[in-house]
């Protein structure tokens, strides 16, 4: 029996993985409405059946015994009706400017738009996206307009003759290893240039590894793009000028090329680095760039919020407002404070009321003091559309019954009467980031002002975790220590 025949015979349900922005398709075997096992469907064009360790978490995410199924006021379990009455009553006690709303970058475009509409109806101005700090910084850079810079497609990556990879791509999205191998072994003379201060799994595949000083990737990229002289970049990045010049020539002379950027926290100014990555790709018709984010729908959620709620505050502005006591209540949609939000966690005691909509119980005990906890449906239980790193729209249909949980648009509807049009969110999301102009001289001045970064001890490479969700999963727990 071939793979095709087998897939036809079985009850196969398909959805998308959101553990990085590559947007792999995940297929499950279903029995009686329950998702029982992973089926590796080799016909899909994105990942050809393969899944990285994080992709396997989707099976657990769909049917984890620790999933929230009932709303909770503190530790007390309540019905949805009681929760909604409590929520409306508590929120009514605050002025609209005293309420903040965070939408996780793991949520769908529809969820982001529903949150924006709900905020608009309630007069809440402090609505913003939340996710990995490096992701949001890199997204900021991708908004800066560079004429001629095009977003790469997966086909463009595998047909490239030169890849310039900034960061540990194969730790972020290991499923791209097949395409990196196609470039490496596809044609004699193909180049894989890796720019990373550490030796990583990705650098194993490099034909030339630019081992720059930590935090100086933006400077090295600016030199490769021709924005600053090689000698100036060599001094700061610690790379020999000749090596930079050779890498720049290799990338320039290749008939086709892709700059792949992986935002990382241990890097200064991800936004500037993305800006220069775009400049490097803008040189030719056959060159393109792509940014692989940590959170699956970083591109979609940020685009929807930027376009539907222009002038919204940034994450740091929200933190300042909490410091000053201007924001007293927080709606956290899909985002937990236990990982990646240390700054928010410090200020958590200053908040009077918090609504936390999530898939699992929070690891932070502080959240149970003054919070309403709502069970949130995953992409398997509620319909939604997502934007992958290459700007494509991925639409997920519900494939499993929601055991007590509700999707974010449903929760927003309970808070305020909203009715977004059917395709409004996906149409907004595919328009891409709002273009902003960046002054070239200003960018160079910011680049020159970058302080030197101390070399940090290299963390053991792990593919097992990337956000607050994964600590709930078996394969993460057995591997996190080694």
- Smallest distance, Å, CB 53 to other proteins? 4
Among positions 190, 200, 279, 362, the unique one binding other proteins when judged by CB under 8 A: 200
CA distance 66 to 108: 22
Q: How far is the CB of 113 from other proteins (least distance, A)?
A: 33
The verdict on 177 binding other proteins (CB under 8 A) reads: yes
Q: Are 362 and 336 in contact (CB under 8 A)?
A: yes
Q: Which parts of 33-52 interact with other proteins (CB under 8 A)? A: 37-38, 40, 42, 47, 49-52
Neighbours of 439 (CB within 10 A): 10
Residues facing residue 211 across a β-bridge: none
- Using CB under 8 A as the binding rule, whether residue 479 contacts other proteins is answered as yes
Q: How far apart, in whole angstroms, are the C-alpha atoms of residue 210 and residue 203?
A: 9
Contact between 471 and other proteins per CB under 8 A: no
Nearer Cβ to other proteins, position 23 or 384?
23
Task: Please tell me the distance from the alpha carbon of residue 453 to that of residue 343, in angstroms, as a whole number.
Answer: 21
Cβ at position 192, least distance to other proteins in Å: 12
Binding-site member from 34, 204, 242, 323 for other proteins (CB under 8 A) = 204
187 near 293, Cβ under 8 Å? no
- How many residues bind other proteins (CB under 8 A)? The answer is 40
Residue in 79, 145, 181, 253 binding other proteins, rule: CB under 8 A: 181
How many CB atoms are closer than 10 A to CB 40? 15
Shortest CB 50 distance to other proteins, Å: 5
74 contacts: CB under 8 Å, gap ≥ 6: 368, 369, 370, 371
Nearer to other proteins, 19 or 356 (CB): 19
Minimum gap (Å) between residue 375 Cβ and other proteins: 24
How many other β-carbons are positioned within 10 Å of the β-carbon of residue 243? 18
Distance CA 70, CA 404 (A): 6
Which residues are registered as beta bridge partners of 397?
Answer: none
Q: Does 170 bind other proteins (CB under 8 A)?
A: yes
Cβ contact 139:133 at 8 Å:
no
Q: Decide: is 3 part of the binding site for other proteins (CB under 8 A).
A: yes
| Minimum distance of other proteins from residue 199's CB (angstroms) | 5
Q: Give the helix/strand (H/E) hosting 12.
A: strand 12-16
Identify which of residues 196 and 306 has a Cβ nearer to other proteins in the complex.
196
Binding site for other proteins (CB under 8 A): 1-3, 6, 37-38, 40, 42, 47, 49-53, 55-56, 59-60, 170, 174-178, 180-181, 185, 199-205, 461, 463, 474-475, 478-479
């Amino acid at each position: 029996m071939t793979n095709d025949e087998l897939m036809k015979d079985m009850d196969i349900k398909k959805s998308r993985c959101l553990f990085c922005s590559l947007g792999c398709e995940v297929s499950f075997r279903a029995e009686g409405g329950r998702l029982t096992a992973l089926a590796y469907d080799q016909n899909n064009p994105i990942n050809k059946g393969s899944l990285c360790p994080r992709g396997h978490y989707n099976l657990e995410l769909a049917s984890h015994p620790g999933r929230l199924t009932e709303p909770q006021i503190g530790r007390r379990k309540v019905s949805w009706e009681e929760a909604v009455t409590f929520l409306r009553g508590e929120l009514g006690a605050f002025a609209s400017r005293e309420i903040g709303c965070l939408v996780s970058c793991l949520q769908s475009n529809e969820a982001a738009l529903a949150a924006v509409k709900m905020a608009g109806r309630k007069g809440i101005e402090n609505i913003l996206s939340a996710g990995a700090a490096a992701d949001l910084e890199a997204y900021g850079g991708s908004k800066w307009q560079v004429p001629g810079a095009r977003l790469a497609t997966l086909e463009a990556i595998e047909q490239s003759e030169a890849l310039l990879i900034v960061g540990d791509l194969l730790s972020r999205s290991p499923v791209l290893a097949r395409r990196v191998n196609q470039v490496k072994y596809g044609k004699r003379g193909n180049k894989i240039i890796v720019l990373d201060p550490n030796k990583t799994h990705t650098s194993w595949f490099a034909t030339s590894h630019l081992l720059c000083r930590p935090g100086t990737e933006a400077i090295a990229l600016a030199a490769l793009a021709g924005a600053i002289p090689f000698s100036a970049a060599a001094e700061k990045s610690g790379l020999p000028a000749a090596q930079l010049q050779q890498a720049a020539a290799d990338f320039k002379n290749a008939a086709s090329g892709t700059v792949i950027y992986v935002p990382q926290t241990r890097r200064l100014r991800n936004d500037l680095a993305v800006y220069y990555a775009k400049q490097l790709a803008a040189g030719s018709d056959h060159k393109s760039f792509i940014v692989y984010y940590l959170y699956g729908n970083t591109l979609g959620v940020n685009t929807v919020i930027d376009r539907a709620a222009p002038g919204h505050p940034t994450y740091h502005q929200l933190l300042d407002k909490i410091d000053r006591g201007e924001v007293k209540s927080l709606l956290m949609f899909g985002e937990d404070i236990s990982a990646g939000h240390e700054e928010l966690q410090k200020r958590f005691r200053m908040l009077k009321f918090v609504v936390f909509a999530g898939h699992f119980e929070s690891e932070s005990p502080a959240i149970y003091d003054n919070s309403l906890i709502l069970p949130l449906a995953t992409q398997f239980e509620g319909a939604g559309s997502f934007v992958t790193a290459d700007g494509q729209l991925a639409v997920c249909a519900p494939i499993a019954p929601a055991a007590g949980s509700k999707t974010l648009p449903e929760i927003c509807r309970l808070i305020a009467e909203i009715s977004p049009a059917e395709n409004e969110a996906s149409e907004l999301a595919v328009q891409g980031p709002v273009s902003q102009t960046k002054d070239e001289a200003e960018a160079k001045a910011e680049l020159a002002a970058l302080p030197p970064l101390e070399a940090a001890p290299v963390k053991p490479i792990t593919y097992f975790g990337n956000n607050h969700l994964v600590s709930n999963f078996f394969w993460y727990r057995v591997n996190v220590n080694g």
